[in-house]
Amino acid sequence: MAAAPAPAQPKGATGVMVLADGSVIWGHGFGAEGVAVGEVCFNTAMTGYQEVISDPSYAGQIITFTFPHIGNVGANNEDIESPNPHALGCVVREAVTPAANFRSARRFDDWMRAWGRIGLSGVDTRALTKRIRLGGAPNGVIAHNKAGKFDLKSLVAQAKGWPGLEGMDLASVISTTQKYSWDDGLWTLQDGYASHSGNPAGPHVVAIDYGMKRNILRNLVAAGARVTVVPAMATFDEIMALKPDGIFLSNGPGDPAATGVHAVPTIQKLLNRDIPLFGICLGHQLLGLAVGAKTLKMTQGHRGANHPVKRLEDGRVEITSMNHGFAVDSATLPTTARPTHVSLFDGTLAGLELTDRKAFSVQYHPEASPGPQDSIYLFEKFVAGLTA
């Protein structure tokens, strides 16, 4: 789609988004001042914006929120999925308002500023979302300057020069660099996050961190597992030295084929030991690659907390949370891998199970942060299978 002539800068505009085709979208900047370049995507969730922005799977991306009132419940220190937010910034329709929630510790725009993330409000997010749906997720630049001074020519050059997510191994960049144990459980209104709730006698799960969300770890603990997290670059020998009863492959950002260059050989060795294995999102894609399937870049991806998935064994429909721009090509699955779930939006593969190994995976996020809780049973299924 060809870009229209750049509109004149409106009076009072302190933020701008520039796409690689030269399109210019003006608005009001909030959060941190600066410039960031990445892939522009959209998310349809109505709540959970802190969880979304702090999800490591969003590394290298600028999020367009389709729900207009983002930020109206403020921000707190609990609803985050990683030590640092990973999305580059966000685009919203309405200006961020004062917080109206008893759990709020600060305004959302102040939280964005504190973490160096750029926001742009006053944008026709419906039109931008439609553009992404029709033409795919473009590369773009988001910029905020309180004085309203922007070098559009330079911003266009940055957007055009960014190589895109295909071929990027971001997992090894954002993964933990040190092994650690995790024993916090799920959050409750009365007590916050449960502490030291892991089962000391429970099965030992080694979770490989390709961009791990904290609530995934909490659900593993709640299901009765002892959990040790290891870096994405951990070797087979380092993992086996921990004597795992099961292996978890985490979510994460970037191109699975690029991450697979170092991850797949390790996963294949683990599969050959027939250690039970469970993968989510990027972990699902890496499992597919490990058994010989291929992955592909989606046009617009799936991002939101309302995605219907059909469970093939009984026809049950689960409403799920999703965040992915790549998918396993179901046509390339080997005969030893059977589809278990499919997206009801477009029929893409949403889950698989190996018939000759104790391994399964799903493309969506069953840990419900943010999102529905229809699929939390998968954690119980995995951990229960380690003691069967």
Our answer to whether residue 33 is catalytic in this structure is no
Confidence of residue 200 (pLDDT cuts 50, 70, 90): confident
Residues 227 and 272 in one domain: yes
284, 302, 341, 365: the catalytic one is 365
Residues 234 and 155 in one domain: no
Does any domain span residue 342? yes
> How many domains would you assign to the chain?
2
SS3 state at 28: strand
90, 281, 318, 353: the catalytic one is 281
What DSSP state is assigned to residue 303?
A: E
For residue range 297-353, list pLDDT tens digits in order. Answer: 999 999 999 999 999 999 999 999 999 999 999 999 999 999 999 999 999 999 999
Residue 48 confidence (pLDDT): 95
pLDDT at 1 over 60: no
For residue range 73-124, list pLDDT tens digits in order. Answer: 999 999 999 998 999 999 999 999 999 999 999 999 999 999 999 999 999 9
Residues 118 and 180 in one domain: no
Residue 114 confidence (pLDDT): 97
Domain with 372 in it: what CATH number? 3.40.50.880
Residue 4 confidence (pLDDT): 61
Residues 263 and 234 in one domain: yes
Pairing of strands 192-193, 89-91: unpaired
For residue range 259-301, list pLDDT tens digits in order. Answer: 999 999 999 999 999 999 999 999 999 999 999 999 999 999 9
Residue 7 confidence (pLDDT): 87
Residues 338 and 253 in one domain: yes
SS3 state at 308: strand
Residue where a domain terminates, one of 161, 196, 230: 161
CB contact set of 123 (below 8 Å; sequence gap of 6+): 17, 25, 27, 64, 91, 92, 93
**Residue range of the domain that includes 27:** 15-161
Does any domain span residue 258? yes
Cα–Cα dist 234/179, whole Å: 9
Handedness of CA 172, 88, 56, 103 (dihedral sign): positive
Does any domain span residue 56? yes
Residues 184 and 208 in one domain: yes
CB contact set of 94 (below 8 Å; sequence gap of 6+): 68, 69, 70, 121, 122
Our answer to whether residue 380 is catalytic in this structure is no
Confidence of residue 197 (pLDDT cuts 50, 70, 90): low
Residue 195 confidence (pLDDT): 76
Residue where a domain terminates, one of 109, 141, 161: 161
Residues 69 and 153 in one domain: yes
Residue where a domain terminates, one of 161, 184, 208: 161
Domain with 64 in it: what CATH number? 3.50.30.20
Does any domain span residue 6? no
Does any domain span residue 9? no
- Please choose, from the candidates 76, 77, 81, 36, the residue with its C-alpha nearest in 3D space to the C-alpha of residue 54: 81
Only one residue has tokens 């990683």, namely: 82
Written as six digits, the tokens of 248 are 């978890």
Residue 282 confidence (pLDDT): 98
Q: Which burial class, exposed, middle or buried, applies to 63 when counting CB atoms under 10 A from its CB (0-12, 13-18, 19+)?
A: buried
Cα–Cα dist 75/70, whole Å: 11
Does any domain span residue 1? no
Residues 82 and 121 in one domain: yes
Residues 142 and 235 in one domain: no
Does any domain span residue 28? yes
First to last CA, the chain: 55
pLDDT at 2 over 70: no
Does any domain span residue 33? yes
Are 16 and 24 contacting, i.e. CB atoms less than 8 angstroms apart?
Answer: yes
Mean pLDDT of 227-244: 98
How much is the pTM? 0.96
Share of the chain above pLDDT 90, in %: 92
SS3 state at 183: coil
Mean pLDDT across the chain, nearest whole number?
A: 95
Written as six digits, the tokens of 202 are 């429970």
What DSSP state is assigned to residue 115?
A: T
Residues 188 and 325 in one domain: yes
Q: Return phi, psi of residue 57, to 5°.
A: -65, -15
Can you state the angle between helices 214-222 and 377-387, rounded to 10 degrees?
50
Confidence of residue 198 (pLDDT cuts 50, 70, 90): low
Are 349 and 363 contacting, i.e. CB atoms less than 8 angstroms apart?
Answer: yes
Our answer to whether residue 41 is catalytic in this structure is no
Cα–Cα dist 383/226, whole Å: 10
Residues 181 and 150 in one domain: no
Only one residue has tokens 């993992």, namely: 239
Residues 197 and 93 in one domain: no
